[in-house]
């Protein structure tokens, strides 16, 4: 049997993409509450004027305001996860529910209570929560006052937020993650770190500074977790961008190597306890001086994560040839060059199950720590048939092939993998487009891209399939 007996099968969502109730029970406005949906979402996130206008005026449809109303429907949803046999459920906590402005004197009791109830519901069904402290959202006040993670002022605020959560949930949560896809802050500073960049020439400096500040906060969270909840495990989380040199030309290989290294330098700090030399040189060559405290390096060295988690959806190719670099693929926001050997999803994300085995081996070789796949799945348009049934065989095919790749990595390569949470186990708002129609779930939610629909939940064909996968511990695919 390939999968260990205690393998954690389950699914994942994030607070802002699911909960809704954006201003209920004392919650403050979050960064994700001021982003519109649609194809222009990424451009909007990168446009300082648009973000400022949204914060000031707040006009138009903001999909996260209601999302799928998980805040009021979590009992029904968790019961459905339990029906599939979930062992683990990954979600995040909305910082603005706990500290509405980020720097409030006291936490918001109603916000804390919501997560008490949520974790109690998980426990009732024997489901282990896996909780991200910060998944692409934070109180908008922290952007307005400090320009988000660009400022070190956020470090003690986050430390207090994290300690508040560890104290409160130390008996109900055993698995924590610090920041979702920390490397994405380099590409999407507002989404990942609440940072608005007015001068594009400042993007590298500010985003790398924001990441440094997040690394310090992440190490402090690890320290607090180990002290307050010593039995719990806390991990890092990176968007694993599996890439291949387009050709065997040494220049292409070297280019791919450099892209890969810059993708993992933040995880290097979290998992190995120090900035790698190549990252220091990169900063030096770019003329970027990161503001650091004398204690930062010691803090990194003493507070490494217990495990490394990652998201994996697709792979891309890398080339130095301008004739080839024109053919782009979309991928998980950063994209790359289209690989002619792979097929793409409807959103242009290239489907590559072997890339998952390659990534598992690569990360295990690099960090020699237990791994956790906390996001994987296929975003697709699901069209219910006349009888209402959604026969999402394309999703089943995608997941089956990726699970086979995990199996091979465990069985044949000896990778230590703790668990697997498919992304968007129930349909939620897409992070990159704000659409509802980009669906990942085993459970269909009746809601469209403009916010119409009854929010009724129904089981797709993949629901029964995944239930059987879990019941047989990955034997029946
Ligand atoms: C990851 C994020 O990058 O990809 C999720 O952590 C996100 O929040 C997921 O939803 C899938 O991306 P998208 O844009 O299809 O929702």
Residue 21's CB is within 10 A of a number of other CB atoms, namely 17
Domain count, the chain: 1
Per the structure, the complete domain to which residue 144 belongs is given by 8-471
Q: Which residue has the tokens 């939610």?
A: 445
Structure confidence at residue 331 (pLDDT): 53
Among 64, 181, 255, 435, the one annotated catalytic: 181
| 58-109 pLDDT per residue, tens | 889 999 999 999 999 999 999 999 999 999 999 999 999 999 999 999 999 9
Is 234 domain-assigned?
yes
Structure confidence at residue 334 (pLDDT): 56
Is 477 domain-assigned?
no
DSSP state letter for 20: -
CATH number at residue 423: 3.20.20.80
Q: Is the Cβ atom of 422 under 6 angstroms away from ligand 1?
A: no
Q: Is the Cβ atom of 70 under 6 angstroms away from ligand 1?
A: no
Q: Catalytic annotation on 181? A: yes
393 within 8 A of 463, measured Cβ to Cβ: no
Q: Is the Cβ atom of 112 under 6 angstroms away from ligand 1?
A: no
Is 56 domain-assigned?
yes
Q: Which atom of ligand 1 is nearest to the CA of 14?
A: 8
Structure confidence at residue 335 (pLDDT): 56
CA angle 89, 300, 102 (to 5 degrees): 60
Structure confidence at residue 57 (pLDDT): 85
Is 274 domain-assigned?
yes
Q: Is the Cβ atom of 181 under 6 angstroms away from ligand 1?
A: yes
Q: Where are the alpha helices (DSSP H) in 177-292?
A: 189-193, 203-228, 250-272, 277-286
Read off the pTM. 0.97
Is 455 domain-assigned?
yes
Which residue, judged by its Cα, is nearest atom 14 of ligand 1? Answer: 432
Residues paired with 344 in a beta bridge: 350
Q: Which atom of ligand 1 is nearest to the CA of 379?
A: 15
Is 1 domain-assigned?
no
| 306-363 pLDDT per residue, tens | 999 999 999 999 988 877 766 565 554 555 788 999 999 999 899 999 999 999 999 9
Is 2 domain-assigned?
no
Q: Catalytic annotation on 375? A: yes
Mark the ranges of the chain whose per-residue pLDDT is less than 70: 1, 325-335
Structure confidence at residue 462 (pLDDT): 98
Structure confidence at residue 326 (pLDDT): 64
Is 476 domain-assigned?
no
């Amino acid at each position: 049997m390939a999968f260990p007996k205690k393998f954690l099968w389950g699914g994942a969502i994030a607070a802002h993409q699911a909960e809704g109730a954006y201003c209920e029970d004392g919650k403050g406005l979050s960064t994700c509450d001021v982003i519109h949906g649609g194809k222009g979402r990424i451009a909007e996130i990168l446009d300082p004027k648009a973000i400022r206008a949204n914060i000031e005026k707040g006009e138009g449809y903001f999909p996260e305001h209601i999302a799928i109303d998980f805040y009021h429907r979590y009992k029904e949803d968790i019961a459905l996860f339990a029906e599939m046999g979930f062992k683990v459920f990954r979600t995040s906590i909305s910082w603005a529910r706990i500290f509405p402005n980020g720097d409030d004197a006291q936490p918001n009791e109603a916000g804390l209570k919501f997560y008490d109830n949520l974790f109690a519901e998980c426990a009732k069904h024997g489901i282990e929560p896996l909780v991200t402290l910060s998944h692409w959202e934070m109180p908008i006040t922290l952007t307005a006052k400090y320009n988000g993670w660009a400022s070190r002022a956020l470090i003690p605020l986050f430390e207090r937020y994290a300690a508040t959560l560890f104290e409160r949930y130390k008996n109900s949560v055993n698995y924590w993650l610090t920041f979702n896809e920390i490397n994405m802050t380099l590409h999407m500073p507002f989404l990942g770190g609440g940072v608005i960049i007015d001068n594009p020439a400042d993007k590298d400096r500010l985003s790398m500074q924001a990441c440094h500040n997040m690394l310090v906060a992440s190490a402090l969270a690890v320290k607090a977790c180990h002290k307050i909840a010593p039995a719990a495990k806390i991990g890092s989380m990176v968007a694993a961008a599996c890439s291949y040199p387009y050709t065997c030309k040494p220049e292409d290989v070297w280019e791919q190597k450099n892209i890969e290294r810059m993708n993992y330098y933040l995880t290097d700090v979290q998992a190995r306890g120090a900035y790698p030399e190549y990252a220091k040189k990169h900063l030096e060559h770019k003329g970027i001086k990161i503001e650091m405290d004398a204690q930062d390096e010691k803090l990194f060295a003493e507070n490494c994560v217990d495990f490394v988690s990652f998201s994996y959806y697709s792979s891309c190719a890398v080339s130095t040839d301008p004739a080839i670099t024109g053919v782009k693929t979309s991928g998980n926001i950063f994209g790359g060059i289209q690989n002619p050997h792979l097929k793409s999803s409807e959103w242009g994300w290239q489907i590559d199950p072997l890339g998952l085995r390659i990534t598992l081996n690569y990360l295990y070789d690099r960090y020699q720590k237990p791994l956790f796949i906390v996001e994987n799945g296929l975003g697709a348009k699901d069209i219910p048939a006349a009888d209402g049934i959604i026969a999402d065989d394309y999703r089943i095919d995608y997941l089956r092939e990726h699970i086979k790749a995990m199996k091979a990595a465990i069985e044949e390569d000896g990778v230590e993998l703790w668990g697997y949470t498919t992304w968007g186990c129930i349909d939620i708002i897409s992070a990159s487009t704000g659409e509802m129609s980009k669906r990942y779930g085993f459970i269909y939610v009746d809601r469209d891209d403009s916010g119409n629909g009854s929010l009724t939940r129904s089981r797709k064909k993949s629901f029964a399939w995944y239930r059987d996968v879990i019941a047989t511990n990955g034997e029946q695919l």
